């Protein structure tokens, strides 16, 4: 059976590390999206204040498989 996937972009930030930002981002995405199959770290940035890193931020491309809900209904009355 074929499947169709969708990719959505999310941003996540942590005051600990890049790894924590990624973990928190995927965990939060999992609260809303079903069928997550992978993620690509598109970008990573540190935020700095007074010469010190204050947070780590990542942009993630999250891939998830769409539910097989059958044919779409267009609402028309033929």
| pLDDT tens-place string over residues 20-47 | 999 999 999 999 999 999 999 999 999 9
Assess if residue 16 is contained within a domain. yes
What domain count does the chain have?
Answer: 1
The predicted model scores a pTM of 0.79
**Residue 29 resides in a domain:** yes
- Dihedral of the CA atoms 35, 40, 43, 47 (nearest 10)? 60
CATH number for the domain including 18?
A: 3.30.1660.10
Provide the domain limits for residue 34.
5-65
Check residue 3 and give its pLDDT. Answer: 84
Residue 74 lies in a domain: no
Inside any domain, residue 45: yes
Four-residue CA torsion sign, 71, 68, 40, 49: positive
Residue 75 falls within a domain, yes or no? no
Note the pLDDT tens digit of each residue in 55-78: 999 999 999 999 876 665 565 555
């Amino acid at each position: 059976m074929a499947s169709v996937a969708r990719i959505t972009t999310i941003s996540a930030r942590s005051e600990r590390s890049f790894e924590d930002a990624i973990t928190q981002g995927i965990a939060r995405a999992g609260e809303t999206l079903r069928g997550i199959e992978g993620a690509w770290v598109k970008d990573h940035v540190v935020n700095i204040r007074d010469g010190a890193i204050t947070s780590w931020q990542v942009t993630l491309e999250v891939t998830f498989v769409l539910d097989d809900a059958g044919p779409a209904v267009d609402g028309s009355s033929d």
